[in-house]
Structure 1
Amino acid sequence: MSGGVHRFPVRVYYEDTDFSGVVYHAGYLRFLERGRTEMLRDLGVDQASLFGAEPPLGFAVARLEIDFRRPARMDDLLEVETRVADVGGASLTMAQRITRGGDPLVDATVRVAAVSRGRAVRLPGDLARLLRG
Protein backbone atom coordinates (compact mmCIF):
# COMPACT_ATOMS: atom_id res chain seq x y z
CA MET A 1 0.00 0.00 0.00
CA SER A 2 1.46 3.31 -1.05
CA GLY A 3 0.07 6.70 -0.05
CA GLY A 4 -3.00 5.04 1.43
CA VAL A 5 -3.87 3.36 -1.88
CA HIS A 6 -3.77 -0.40 -2.25
CA ARG A 7 -3.13 -1.74 -5.75
CA PHE A 8 -4.11 -5.22 -6.92
CA PRO A 9 -3.51 -6.61 -10.45
CA VAL A 10 -6.31 -8.51 -12.20
CA ARG A 11 -6.17 -10.29 -15.56
CA VAL A 12 -9.39 -10.42 -17.60
CA TYR A 13 -10.25 -14.00 -18.51
CA TYR A 14 -12.75 -15.34 -21.01
CA GLU A 15 -15.16 -16.14 -18.16
CA ASP A 16 -15.27 -12.41 -17.26
CA THR A 17 -16.52 -11.35 -20.68
CA ASP A 18 -19.69 -11.39 -22.71
CA PHE A 19 -20.02 -12.80 -26.23
CA SER A 20 -18.10 -9.84 -27.69
CA GLY A 21 -15.00 -10.23 -25.48
CA VAL A 22 -15.84 -7.19 -23.34
CA VAL A 23 -16.04 -7.48 -19.56
CA TYR A 24 -19.67 -8.00 -18.53
CA HIS A 25 -20.77 -5.25 -16.11
CA ALA A 26 -21.14 -7.64 -13.14
CA GLY A 27 -17.55 -8.80 -13.68
CA TYR A 28 -16.29 -5.46 -12.42
CA LEU A 29 -18.05 -6.11 -9.10
CA ARG A 30 -15.93 -9.25 -8.62
CA PHE A 31 -12.75 -7.31 -9.42
CA LEU A 32 -13.72 -4.62 -6.89
CA GLU A 33 -14.48 -7.27 -4.25
CA ARG A 34 -11.07 -8.86 -4.79
CA GLY A 35 -9.43 -5.45 -4.41
CA ARG A 36 -11.21 -4.78 -1.09
CA THR A 37 -10.41 -8.26 0.21
CA GLU A 38 -6.73 -8.01 -0.72
CA MET A 39 -6.44 -4.55 0.84
CA LEU A 40 -7.80 -5.92 4.13
CA ARG A 41 -5.50 -8.94 3.89
CA ASP A 42 -2.47 -6.69 3.34
CA LEU A 43 -3.49 -4.69 6.43
CA GLY A 44 -3.42 -7.93 8.41
CA VAL A 45 -7.20 -8.40 8.63
CA ASP A 46 -8.08 -12.10 8.36
CA GLN A 47 -11.74 -12.11 7.34
CA ALA A 48 -12.06 -15.89 7.89
CA SER A 49 -10.91 -15.45 11.50
CA LEU A 50 -13.31 -12.55 12.01
CA PHE A 51 -16.18 -14.65 10.70
CA GLY A 52 -15.13 -17.61 12.88
CA ALA A 53 -14.83 -15.49 16.04
CA GLU A 54 -17.44 -15.22 18.77
CA PRO A 55 -19.41 -13.22 17.95
CA PRO A 56 -18.79 -13.66 14.23
CA LEU A 57 -18.09 -10.53 12.19
CA GLY A 58 -18.47 -10.13 8.45
CA PHE A 59 -18.99 -7.37 5.91
CA ALA A 60 -21.96 -6.84 3.61
CA VAL A 61 -22.19 -4.31 0.80
CA ALA A 62 -24.76 -1.72 1.85
CA ARG A 63 -24.30 0.81 -0.95
CA LEU A 64 -22.48 0.82 -4.26
CA GLU A 65 -22.06 3.67 -6.73
CA ILE A 66 -20.27 2.80 -9.94
CA ASP A 67 -19.33 4.76 -13.05
CA PHE A 68 -18.35 2.78 -16.13
CA ARG A 69 -15.99 4.91 -18.22
CA ARG A 70 -14.35 2.53 -20.71
CA PRO A 71 -14.63 -1.19 -21.40
CA ALA A 72 -12.03 -3.79 -20.49
CA ARG A 73 -11.45 -6.68 -22.85
CA MET A 74 -10.34 -10.26 -22.70
CA ASP A 75 -6.68 -10.66 -21.65
CA ASP A 76 -6.32 -7.05 -20.43
CA LEU A 77 -4.19 -6.57 -17.33
CA LEU A 78 -6.07 -4.28 -14.98
CA GLU A 79 -5.24 -2.71 -11.65
CA VAL A 80 -7.78 -2.29 -8.85
CA GLU A 81 -6.97 0.68 -6.64
CA THR A 82 -8.63 0.76 -3.22
CA ARG A 83 -8.45 3.30 -0.42
CA VAL A 84 -10.40 3.81 2.77
CA ALA A 85 -12.50 6.94 2.35
CA ASP A 86 -14.37 6.87 5.68
CA VAL A 87 -14.72 4.69 8.76
CA GLY A 88 -18.02 5.00 10.61
CA GLY A 89 -19.29 3.27 13.72
CA ALA A 90 -20.65 0.23 11.89
CA SER A 91 -19.57 0.85 8.31
CA LEU A 92 -16.61 1.42 6.09
CA THR A 93 -16.58 3.39 2.84
CA MET A 94 -13.96 2.65 0.21
CA ALA A 95 -13.12 4.55 -2.96
CA GLN A 96 -12.09 2.22 -5.76
CA ARG A 97 -10.86 2.60 -9.31
CA ILE A 98 -10.08 0.05 -11.99
CA THR A 99 -7.44 1.12 -14.48
CA ARG A 100 -5.70 -0.28 -17.54
CA GLY A 101 -2.24 1.12 -18.12
CA GLY A 102 -3.11 4.04 -15.84
CA ASP A 103 -6.30 4.90 -17.76
CA PRO A 104 -9.44 4.85 -15.59
CA LEU A 105 -12.09 2.34 -16.66
CA VAL A 106 -14.34 2.20 -13.59
CA ASP A 107 -14.79 4.41 -10.51
CA ALA A 108 -16.74 3.11 -7.53
CA THR A 109 -17.65 4.10 -4.01
CA VAL A 110 -18.55 1.14 -1.83
CA ARG A 111 -19.98 1.25 1.68
CA VAL A 112 -19.83 -2.01 3.58
CA ALA A 113 -21.60 -2.65 6.87
CA ALA A 114 -20.14 -4.70 9.68
CA VAL A 115 -22.61 -7.49 10.41
CA SER A 116 -22.96 -10.27 12.93
CA ARG A 117 -25.69 -12.89 12.75
CA GLY A 118 -27.56 -10.84 10.15
CA ARG A 119 -27.52 -7.55 12.06
CA ALA A 120 -25.38 -4.44 11.77
CA VAL A 121 -22.82 -4.10 14.58
CA ARG A 122 -20.15 -1.60 15.53
CA LEU A 123 -16.68 -2.16 14.17
CA PRO A 124 -14.37 -3.40 16.92
CA GLY A 125 -12.19 -0.52 18.15
CA ASP A 126 -8.87 -2.07 17.11
CA LEU A 127 -10.18 -2.79 13.61
CA ALA A 128 -11.62 0.73 13.24
CA ARG A 129 -8.29 2.26 14.33
CA LEU A 130 -6.38 0.09 11.86
CA LEU A 131 -8.68 1.09 9.00
CA ARG A 132 -8.42 4.78 9.89
CA GLY A 133 -4.66 4.39 9.42
Structure 2
Amino acid sequence: MTEERSKDGPDLCGWLENGEHHLRQRVYYEDTDFSGVVYHARYLHFLERGRTDYLRCLGVEQRTLHTIDEEGLAFAVHHMDLKFIRPARMDDILEITTKTTRATGARMVLEQSISAAGVLLTTATVTVVVINKHGRARRMPDDLAATLLQAREDQA
Protein backbone atom coordinates (compact mmCIF):
# COMPACT_ATOMS: atom_id res chain seq x y z
CA MET A 1 0.00 0.00 0.00
CA THR A 2 1.08 3.54 -0.46
CA GLU A 3 0.10 6.62 1.50
CA GLU A 4 -0.28 8.75 -1.62
CA ARG A 5 -2.98 8.40 -4.21
CA SER A 6 -1.99 7.68 -7.80
CA LYS A 7 -0.06 10.39 -9.59
CA ASP A 8 -1.43 9.15 -12.92
CA GLY A 9 -4.32 11.61 -12.75
CA PRO A 10 -7.91 11.14 -13.84
CA ASP A 11 -7.06 10.83 -17.52
CA LEU A 12 -5.10 7.62 -16.99
CA CYS A 13 -6.59 5.84 -14.00
CA GLY A 14 -10.14 7.15 -13.95
CA TRP A 15 -11.74 8.66 -10.89
CA LEU A 16 -13.59 7.81 -7.69
CA GLU A 17 -17.05 9.21 -7.18
CA ASN A 18 -19.25 8.22 -4.21
CA GLY A 19 -17.08 5.18 -3.56
CA GLU A 20 -17.42 3.92 -7.13
CA HIS A 21 -14.57 3.91 -9.62
CA HIS A 22 -15.11 5.14 -13.19
CA LEU A 23 -12.74 4.49 -16.09
CA ARG A 24 -13.22 5.51 -19.71
CA GLN A 25 -11.78 3.42 -22.53
CA ARG A 26 -12.19 3.68 -26.29
CA VAL A 27 -13.00 0.59 -28.34
CA TYR A 28 -10.27 0.06 -30.93
CA TYR A 29 -10.23 -2.08 -34.06
CA GLU A 30 -8.17 -4.70 -32.20
CA ASP A 31 -11.06 -5.14 -29.73
CA THR A 32 -13.58 -6.10 -32.40
CA ASP A 33 -14.44 -9.00 -34.62
CA PHE A 34 -14.89 -8.75 -38.39
CA SER A 35 -18.24 -6.97 -37.98
CA GLY A 36 -16.95 -4.13 -35.78
CA VAL A 37 -18.59 -5.54 -32.64
CA VAL A 38 -16.44 -6.05 -29.53
CA TYR A 39 -15.33 -9.67 -29.27
CA HIS A 40 -16.77 -11.23 -26.09
CA ALA A 41 -13.39 -12.04 -24.52
CA ARG A 42 -12.27 -8.40 -24.78
CA TYR A 43 -14.83 -7.43 -22.12
CA LEU A 44 -12.60 -9.30 -19.65
CA HIS A 45 -9.75 -6.93 -20.58
CA PHE A 46 -11.89 -3.85 -19.99
CA LEU A 47 -13.10 -5.22 -16.65
CA GLU A 48 -9.53 -6.05 -15.58
CA ARG A 49 -8.42 -2.51 -16.38
CA GLY A 50 -11.32 -1.21 -14.30
CA ARG A 51 -10.31 -3.35 -11.29
CA THR A 52 -6.65 -2.46 -11.61
CA ASP A 53 -7.25 1.28 -11.86
CA TYR A 54 -9.81 1.12 -9.06
CA LEU A 55 -7.08 -0.17 -6.75
CA ARG A 56 -4.66 2.41 -8.13
CA CYS A 57 -7.09 5.25 -7.35
CA LEU A 58 -7.45 3.87 -3.82
CA GLY A 59 -3.68 4.17 -3.43
CA VAL A 60 -2.96 0.44 -3.75
CA GLU A 61 0.04 -0.32 -5.96
CA GLN A 62 -0.08 -3.96 -6.96
CA ARG A 63 3.61 -4.21 -7.78
CA THR A 64 4.49 -3.25 -4.20
CA LEU A 65 2.06 -5.84 -2.83
CA HIS A 66 4.25 -8.62 -4.28
CA THR A 67 6.95 -7.64 -1.79
CA ILE A 68 4.76 -6.38 1.07
CA ASP A 69 6.20 -9.07 3.40
CA GLU A 70 7.94 -12.45 3.16
CA GLU A 71 4.74 -14.10 1.83
CA GLY A 72 4.04 -11.58 -0.91
CA LEU A 73 0.51 -10.75 -1.97
CA ALA A 74 -1.40 -10.83 -5.23
CA PHE A 75 -5.01 -10.94 -6.37
CA ALA A 76 -6.52 -13.74 -8.44
CA VAL A 77 -9.98 -13.91 -9.96
CA HIS A 78 -11.75 -16.87 -8.37
CA HIS A 79 -15.22 -16.53 -9.89
CA MET A 80 -16.94 -14.22 -12.35
CA ASP A 81 -20.56 -13.92 -13.41
CA LEU A 82 -21.02 -11.95 -16.63
CA LYS A 83 -24.15 -10.77 -18.32
CA PHE A 84 -23.89 -9.46 -21.87
CA ILE A 85 -26.81 -7.10 -22.48
CA ARG A 86 -25.89 -5.14 -25.62
CA PRO A 87 -22.78 -5.11 -27.82
CA ALA A 88 -20.11 -2.43 -27.83
CA ARG A 89 -18.85 -1.30 -31.21
CA MET A 90 -15.69 0.11 -32.69
CA ASP A 91 -14.98 3.72 -31.56
CA ASP A 92 -17.48 3.58 -28.67
CA ILE A 93 -16.31 5.28 -25.49
CA LEU A 94 -16.91 2.80 -22.71
CA GLU A 95 -17.31 3.65 -19.05
CA ILE A 96 -16.26 0.85 -16.75
CA THR A 97 -17.52 1.18 -13.18
CA THR A 98 -16.23 -0.83 -10.23
CA LYS A 99 -17.26 -0.96 -6.59
CA THR A 100 -16.54 -3.19 -3.62
CA THR A 101 -19.52 -5.04 -2.22
CA ARG A 102 -17.59 -7.20 0.25
CA ALA A 103 -14.01 -7.42 1.55
CA THR A 104 -13.33 -10.07 4.18
CA GLY A 105 -10.40 -12.26 5.12
CA ALA A 106 -8.89 -13.55 1.91
CA ARG A 107 -11.50 -12.43 -0.60
CA MET A 108 -13.39 -9.49 -1.97
CA VAL A 109 -16.43 -9.21 -4.19
CA LEU A 110 -16.66 -6.45 -6.78
CA GLU A 111 -19.59 -5.32 -8.89
CA GLN A 112 -18.64 -4.00 -12.32
CA SER A 113 -20.49 -2.65 -15.30
CA ILE A 114 -19.65 -1.41 -18.77
CA SER A 115 -21.79 1.18 -20.50
CA ALA A 116 -21.54 3.38 -23.59
CA ALA A 117 -23.36 6.70 -23.98
CA GLY A 118 -25.35 5.92 -20.84
CA VAL A 119 -26.55 2.53 -22.13
CA LEU A 120 -25.69 -0.52 -20.00
CA LEU A 121 -23.81 -3.14 -22.03
CA THR A 122 -22.36 -5.64 -19.57
CA THR A 123 -22.48 -6.42 -15.86
CA ALA A 124 -20.11 -8.58 -13.83
CA THR A 125 -19.86 -9.84 -10.28
CA VAL A 126 -16.25 -10.74 -9.60
CA THR A 127 -14.91 -12.68 -6.62
CA VAL A 128 -11.21 -12.04 -6.13
CA VAL A 129 -9.05 -14.01 -3.70
CA VAL A 130 -5.85 -12.89 -2.04
CA ILE A 131 -2.92 -15.25 -2.59
CA ASN A 132 0.75 -15.36 -1.63
CA LYS A 133 3.69 -15.69 -4.02
CA HIS A 134 3.21 -19.48 -3.98
CA GLY A 135 -0.42 -19.25 -5.09
CA ARG A 136 -1.87 -20.16 -1.69
CA ALA A 137 -4.66 -18.22 -0.02
CA ARG A 138 -3.66 -15.62 2.55
CA ARG A 139 -5.46 -12.96 4.54
CA MET A 140 -5.52 -9.37 3.45
CA PRO A 141 -3.42 -7.03 5.57
CA ASP A 142 -5.63 -4.95 7.88
CA ASP A 143 -4.76 -1.65 6.15
CA LEU A 144 -5.70 -3.04 2.73
CA ALA A 145 -9.00 -4.44 4.01
CA ALA A 146 -9.71 -1.08 5.69
CA THR A 147 -9.07 0.78 2.41
CA LEU A 148 -11.49 -1.48 0.52
CA LEU A 149 -14.10 -1.33 3.27
CA GLN A 150 -13.83 2.46 3.43
CA ALA A 151 -14.44 2.63 -0.33
CA ARG A 152 -17.53 0.46 0.19
CA GLU A 153 -18.77 2.65 3.05
CA ASP A 154 -18.27 5.75 0.92
CA GLN A 155 -20.82 4.27 -1.50
CA ALA A 156 -23.58 4.37 1.10
Report if TM-score (shorter chain) is over 0.5.
yes
2:101 to 85, 89, 93: 85
Report the CA distance between 1:58 and its aligned residue: 0.3
CA distance in 1, matches of 2:123, 2:149: 21
Q: Which runs of 5+ in 1 are unaligned?
A: none
Equivalent position amino acid for 1:35 in 2: G
Aligned length: 133
How far, CA to CA, are the matches of 2:103 and 2:68 in structure 1?
21
SS at match of 2:48: helix
Q: 1:114 aligns with which of 107, 130, 141?
A: 130
Pairing 1:41-120 to 2, within 5 Å after superposition: 41-54=56-69, 55-116=71-132, 117-120=134-137
Of 145, 151, 155 in structure 2, the residue corresponding to residue 128 of structure 1 is 145
Identity of aligned residues (%): 51
Letter in 2 for 1:110: V
Of stretches 46-55 and 82-91 in structure 1, the one that deviates more from structure 2 is 46-55
Deviations along 1:63-108, whole A, 9 cap, x unmatched? 0000000000111100000000111210011000000011100000
- Shift in Å, 1:3: 1.2
Structure 2 residue matching 1:119: 3-state secondary structure: coil
Q: TM-score, normalised by structure 1?
A: 0.97
Secondary structure (helix, strand or coil) at the match of 2:41 reads helix
Matched, 1:18 2:43: no
